[in-house]
Amino acid sequence: MVISQAGQSESAQRYPVVCIDGPSGAGKGTVTWRLAKALGYQLLDSGALYRIVGLKAHEAGLLDTDEAIDENALLTLTQSLHIEFEPNQRSGRVDIIVNGEGVGEQVRNETVGGYASKIAIYPQVRQALLKLQQDMATRSGLVADGRDMGTVVFPDADVKVFLTASAEARAQRRVTQLMDAGQTADFDEILATIKARDERDENREAAPSKPATDALVIDSSALDANSVYEQVKAYCQSQGICFNTQ
Ligand code: C5P
Protein backbone atom coordinates (compact mmCIF):
# COMPACT_ATOMS: atom_id res chain seq x y z
CA MET A 1 0.00 0.00 0.00
CA VAL A 2 1.16 3.49 -0.73
CA ILE A 3 -0.36 6.46 0.97
CA SER A 4 0.25 9.98 -0.17
CA GLN A 5 -1.15 13.44 -0.01
CA ALA A 6 -0.98 15.64 -3.08
CA GLY A 7 1.52 18.47 -3.16
CA GLN A 8 3.84 17.34 -0.36
CA SER A 9 7.55 16.69 -0.71
CA GLU A 10 9.63 14.49 1.56
CA SER A 11 12.58 15.48 3.75
CA ALA A 12 14.32 13.98 6.75
CA GLN A 13 13.42 16.94 8.97
CA ARG A 14 11.33 16.17 12.03
CA TYR A 15 8.01 17.93 12.10
CA PRO A 16 5.58 18.33 15.02
CA VAL A 17 3.02 15.58 15.55
CA VAL A 18 -0.26 15.97 17.42
CA CYS A 19 -2.12 12.72 18.19
CA ILE A 20 -5.86 12.62 18.83
CA ASP A 21 -6.91 9.11 19.84
CA GLY A 22 -10.16 7.73 21.19
CA PRO A 23 -13.29 5.75 20.33
CA SER A 24 -15.62 6.60 17.46
CA GLY A 25 -18.10 9.38 18.10
CA ALA A 26 -16.00 11.12 20.76
CA GLY A 27 -15.48 14.10 18.45
CA LYS A 28 -11.94 13.36 17.20
CA GLY A 29 -12.76 14.11 13.56
CA THR A 30 -13.93 17.67 14.21
CA VAL A 31 -11.02 18.52 16.51
CA THR A 32 -8.48 16.97 14.16
CA TRP A 33 -9.81 18.88 11.17
CA ARG A 34 -9.86 22.22 12.99
CA LEU A 35 -6.38 21.74 14.42
CA ALA A 36 -4.89 20.72 11.07
CA LYS A 37 -6.47 23.75 9.45
CA ALA A 38 -5.39 26.20 12.14
CA LEU A 39 -1.84 24.84 12.23
CA GLY A 40 -1.44 24.30 8.48
CA TYR A 41 -0.53 20.65 9.15
CA GLN A 42 -1.44 17.53 7.20
CA LEU A 43 -4.22 15.37 8.56
CA LEU A 44 -3.88 11.63 9.01
CA ASP A 45 -7.29 9.94 9.27
CA SER A 46 -5.92 6.52 10.23
CA GLY A 47 -9.42 5.11 10.69
CA ALA A 48 -9.98 5.67 6.97
CA LEU A 49 -7.07 3.34 6.19
CA TYR A 50 -8.63 0.55 8.25
CA ARG A 51 -12.05 1.31 6.77
CA ILE A 52 -10.72 1.00 3.21
CA VAL A 53 -8.99 -2.28 3.96
CA GLY A 54 -12.17 -3.52 5.71
CA LEU A 55 -14.37 -2.50 2.79
CA LYS A 56 -12.07 -4.07 0.19
CA ALA A 57 -11.79 -7.24 2.30
CA HIS A 58 -15.59 -7.40 2.45
CA GLU A 59 -15.87 -6.88 -1.31
CA ALA A 60 -13.29 -9.64 -1.85
CA GLY A 61 -15.38 -12.00 0.31
CA LEU A 62 -12.65 -12.32 2.96
CA LEU A 63 -15.00 -11.44 5.80
CA ASP A 64 -17.60 -14.08 4.86
CA THR A 65 -16.47 -16.44 7.57
CA ASP A 66 -17.16 -17.04 11.25
CA GLU A 67 -13.59 -18.18 11.66
CA ALA A 68 -10.31 -16.28 11.48
CA ILE A 69 -9.84 -14.24 8.32
CA ASP A 70 -7.07 -15.42 5.96
CA GLU A 71 -4.34 -13.04 7.16
CA ASN A 72 -2.05 -13.62 4.18
CA ALA A 73 -4.83 -12.73 1.74
CA LEU A 74 -5.62 -9.69 3.86
CA LEU A 75 -1.98 -8.62 3.75
CA THR A 76 -1.77 -9.04 -0.04
CA LEU A 77 -4.94 -6.99 -0.41
CA THR A 78 -3.62 -4.27 1.92
CA GLN A 79 -0.36 -4.05 -0.01
CA SER A 80 -2.24 -3.69 -3.31
CA LEU A 81 -3.94 -0.46 -2.26
CA HIS A 82 -2.71 3.01 -3.12
CA ILE A 83 -4.49 5.47 -0.86
CA GLU A 84 -4.50 9.24 -1.08
CA PHE A 85 -6.19 11.81 1.16
CA GLU A 86 -7.47 15.11 -0.15
CA PRO A 87 -8.83 17.72 2.25
CA ASN A 88 -12.43 18.61 1.40
CA GLN A 89 -13.30 22.06 2.81
CA ARG A 90 -17.01 21.55 2.20
CA SER A 91 -17.36 18.34 4.21
CA GLY A 92 -14.69 19.23 6.78
CA ARG A 93 -12.90 15.90 6.40
CA VAL A 94 -10.57 14.26 3.93
CA ASP A 95 -11.79 12.64 0.72
CA ILE A 96 -10.26 9.22 0.22
CA ILE A 97 -8.94 8.11 -3.14
CA VAL A 98 -8.07 4.45 -3.59
CA ASN A 99 -6.10 3.32 -6.63
CA GLY A 100 -7.06 6.58 -8.33
CA GLU A 101 -10.80 6.44 -7.57
CA GLY A 102 -12.80 8.33 -4.94
CA VAL A 103 -14.52 5.95 -2.53
CA GLY A 104 -17.34 8.26 -1.47
CA GLU A 105 -19.11 8.60 1.85
CA GLN A 106 -20.14 4.94 2.03
CA VAL A 107 -16.82 4.20 3.69
CA ARG A 108 -17.85 6.32 6.70
CA ASN A 109 -20.91 4.31 7.68
CA GLU A 110 -21.15 2.08 10.73
CA THR A 111 -21.22 -1.13 8.69
CA VAL A 112 -17.82 -0.32 7.21
CA GLY A 113 -16.63 0.76 10.69
CA GLY A 114 -17.48 -2.81 11.76
CA TYR A 115 -15.49 -4.30 8.86
CA ALA A 116 -12.58 -2.04 9.82
CA SER A 117 -12.54 -3.23 13.42
CA LYS A 118 -12.60 -6.86 12.24
CA ILE A 119 -9.49 -6.54 10.07
CA ALA A 120 -7.77 -4.16 12.54
CA ILE A 121 -7.04 -7.03 14.95
CA TYR A 122 -4.50 -8.56 12.54
CA PRO A 123 -0.90 -7.58 13.33
CA GLN A 124 0.31 -8.00 9.73
CA VAL A 125 -2.27 -5.52 8.49
CA ARG A 126 -1.30 -3.05 11.21
CA GLN A 127 2.37 -3.54 10.40
CA ALA A 128 1.73 -2.92 6.69
CA LEU A 129 0.08 0.38 7.59
CA LEU A 130 2.60 1.47 10.20
CA LYS A 131 5.48 2.89 8.17
CA LEU A 132 3.14 4.59 5.74
CA GLN A 133 1.49 6.45 8.60
CA GLN A 134 4.85 7.33 10.13
CA ASP A 135 6.10 8.59 6.76
CA MET A 136 3.39 11.23 6.75
CA ALA A 137 5.21 12.99 9.59
CA THR A 138 8.34 13.33 7.44
CA ARG A 139 6.65 15.77 5.05
CA SER A 140 5.10 18.42 7.32
CA GLY A 141 3.48 18.86 10.71
CA LEU A 142 0.80 16.25 11.29
CA VAL A 143 -2.43 15.90 13.23
CA ALA A 144 -3.16 12.18 13.48
CA ASP A 145 -6.57 10.76 14.39
CA GLY A 146 -6.95 7.14 15.48
CA ARG A 147 -6.71 4.56 18.25
CA ASP A 148 -2.96 3.90 18.50
CA MET A 149 -1.43 7.15 17.27
CA GLY A 150 0.06 8.04 20.67
CA THR A 151 0.83 4.50 21.81
CA VAL A 152 2.30 2.81 18.72
CA VAL A 153 2.53 4.93 15.59
CA PHE A 154 3.96 8.15 17.07
CA PRO A 155 5.21 7.29 20.57
CA ASP A 156 7.41 10.43 20.55
CA ALA A 157 4.62 12.79 19.47
CA ASP A 158 4.70 16.38 20.75
CA VAL A 159 1.07 16.22 21.91
CA LYS A 160 -1.10 13.24 22.80
CA VAL A 161 -4.78 13.60 23.56
CA PHE A 162 -7.21 10.77 24.23
CA LEU A 163 -10.72 12.03 23.57
CA THR A 164 -13.46 9.87 24.96
CA ALA A 165 -17.18 10.03 25.88
CA SER A 166 -19.72 7.60 27.29
CA ALA A 167 -21.13 5.11 24.79
CA GLU A 168 -24.59 6.64 25.43
CA ALA A 169 -23.42 10.17 24.60
CA ARG A 170 -21.71 8.93 21.44
CA ALA A 171 -24.80 6.98 20.38
CA GLN A 172 -26.99 10.03 20.97
CA ARG A 173 -24.69 12.17 18.80
CA ARG A 174 -24.90 9.59 16.02
CA VAL A 175 -28.72 9.52 16.26
CA THR A 176 -28.85 13.32 16.02
CA GLN A 177 -26.45 13.28 13.05
CA LEU A 178 -28.54 10.71 11.17
CA MET A 179 -31.81 12.49 11.94
CA ASP A 180 -30.36 15.83 10.84
CA ALA A 181 -29.49 14.09 7.56
CA GLY A 182 -33.14 13.03 7.23
CA GLN A 183 -32.43 9.37 8.02
CA THR A 184 -34.07 7.12 10.60
CA ALA A 185 -32.06 6.07 13.64
CA ASP A 186 -32.59 3.53 16.39
CA PHE A 187 -30.76 4.56 19.57
CA ASP A 188 -30.57 1.03 21.07
CA GLU A 189 -29.28 -0.48 17.86
CA ILE A 190 -26.64 2.23 17.47
CA LEU A 191 -25.61 1.91 21.12
CA ALA A 192 -25.17 -1.87 20.75
CA THR A 193 -23.05 -1.42 17.60
CA ILE A 194 -20.86 1.18 19.28
CA LYS A 195 -20.34 -1.04 22.32
CA ALA A 196 -19.44 -4.05 20.14
CA ARG A 197 -16.86 -2.02 18.23
CA ASP A 198 -15.39 -0.55 21.46
CA GLU A 199 -15.13 -4.02 22.90
CA ARG A 200 -13.18 -5.31 19.87
CA ASP A 201 -10.94 -2.24 19.68
CA GLU A 202 -10.12 -2.15 23.39
CA ASN A 203 -9.55 -5.85 23.92
CA ARG A 204 -7.55 -6.87 20.87
CA GLU A 205 -3.93 -7.87 21.42
CA ALA A 206 -2.43 -5.72 18.67
CA ALA A 207 -2.38 -2.01 19.49
CA PRO A 208 -5.57 -1.90 21.59
CA SER A 209 -7.39 1.41 21.83
CA LYS A 210 -6.19 3.03 25.06
CA PRO A 211 -4.68 6.33 26.20
CA ALA A 212 -0.89 6.62 26.07
CA THR A 213 0.55 6.99 29.57
CA ASP A 214 1.52 10.56 28.70
CA ALA A 215 -1.79 11.52 27.04
CA LEU A 216 -4.21 14.16 28.24
CA VAL A 217 -7.58 12.40 28.60
CA ILE A 218 -10.65 14.52 27.86
CA ASP A 219 -14.18 13.23 28.43
CA SER A 220 -16.38 15.05 25.94
CA SER A 221 -19.70 13.54 27.14
CA ALA A 222 -20.95 16.87 28.47
CA LEU A 223 -18.94 19.20 26.23
CA ASP A 224 -19.77 20.80 22.90
CA ALA A 225 -17.37 20.56 19.96
CA ASN A 226 -16.11 24.10 20.45
CA SER A 227 -15.13 23.64 24.10
CA VAL A 228 -13.34 20.41 23.22
CA TYR A 229 -11.42 22.22 20.49
CA GLU A 230 -10.48 25.09 22.79
CA GLN A 231 -9.24 22.68 25.49
CA VAL A 232 -7.14 20.72 23.01
CA LYS A 233 -5.78 23.90 21.44
CA ALA A 234 -4.78 25.29 24.85
CA TYR A 235 -3.10 21.98 25.68
CA CYS A 236 -1.19 22.02 22.37
CA GLN A 237 0.00 25.56 23.13
CA SER A 238 1.12 24.47 26.60
CA GLN A 239 3.20 21.77 24.90
CA GLY A 240 4.93 24.28 22.62
CA ILE A 241 2.79 23.98 19.48
CA CYS A 242 2.54 27.37 17.83
CA PHE A 243 -0.73 28.62 16.30
CA ASN A 244 0.43 31.34 13.93
CA THR A 245 -2.72 31.63 11.93
CA GLN A 246 -5.27 32.32 14.68
O1 C5P B 1 -11.87 6.06 13.60
P2 C5P B 1 -12.76 5.18 12.77
O3 C5P B 1 -14.12 4.99 13.36
O4 C5P B 1 -12.83 5.61 11.35
O5 C5P B 1 -12.02 3.75 12.78
C6 C5P B 1 -12.63 2.60 12.25
C7 C5P B 1 -12.01 1.37 12.91
O8 C5P B 1 -10.66 1.23 12.45
C9 C5P B 1 -11.90 1.41 14.42
O10 C5P B 1 -13.08 0.94 15.06
C11 C5P B 1 -10.71 0.50 14.71
O12 C5P B 1 -11.09 -0.85 14.74
C13 C5P B 1 -9.83 0.70 13.48
N14 C5P B 1 -8.73 1.62 13.76
C15 C5P B 1 -7.60 1.11 14.36
N16 C5P B 1 -6.53 1.91 14.56
C17 C5P B 1 -6.54 3.19 14.19
C18 C5P B 1 -7.70 3.75 13.60
C19 C5P B 1 -8.79 2.93 13.41
O20 C5P B 1 -7.55 -0.05 14.70
N21 C5P B 1 -5.47 3.94 14.38
Q: Tell me if 24 CB under 6 Å of ligand 1.
A: yes
CA distance 153 to 157: 9
User: Which residues, 6 or more positions from 186, have their beta carbon under 8 angstroms from its beta carbon?
Assistant: none
Q: What is the pLDDT of residue 118?
A: 94
Q: Is 210 in contact with 152 (CB distance < 8 Å)?
A: no
The ligand 1 atom at the shortest distance from the C-alpha of residue 200 is 12
Q: How many residues are present in the chain?
A: 246
Q: What is the pLDDT of residue 90?
A: 87
Q: Tell me if 193 CB under 6 Å of ligand 1.
A: no
Measured by CA distance, the residue closest to atom 4 of ligand 1 is 47
Q: What is the pLDDT of residue 67?
A: 85
The ligand 1 atom at the shortest distance from the C-alpha of residue 153 is 21
The rounded Å distance from CA 205 to ligand 1 centre is: 14
Q: Tell me if 198 CB under 6 Å of ligand 1.
A: no
Which residues of the chain have a pLDDT value below 70?
1-13, 245-246
User: In Å, what is the CA distance from 113 to each residue of 7, 214, 238?
Assistant: 29, 27, 34
Half-sphere exposure of 36 (CA within 13 A, CB side): 26
Instruction: Specify the pTM.
Output: 0.92
The residues that bridge with 2 in the sheet, in sequence order, are 82
Half-sphere exposure of 158 (CA within 13 A, CB side): 20
Q: What is the pLDDT of residue 11?
A: 46
Q: Is 190 in contact with 175 (CB distance < 8 Å)?
A: yes
Q: What is the pLDDT of residue 150?
A: 98
Q: What is the pLDDT of residue 91?
A: 85
- Interhelix angle for 46-59 vs 71-79, to 10°? 120
Give the 3-state secondary structure of residue 141.
Answer: coil
The ligand 1 atom at the shortest distance from the C-alpha of residue 201 is 12
Measured by CA distance, the residue closest to atom 11 of ligand 1 is 117
Q: Tell me if 21 CB under 6 Å of ligand 1.
A: no
Q: What is the pLDDT of residue 3?
A: 55
For a substitution probing ligand 1, which of 147, 160, 161, 198 has the most ligand atoms within 8 Å of its CB? 147
Q: Tell me if 51 CB under 6 Å of ligand 1.
A: yes
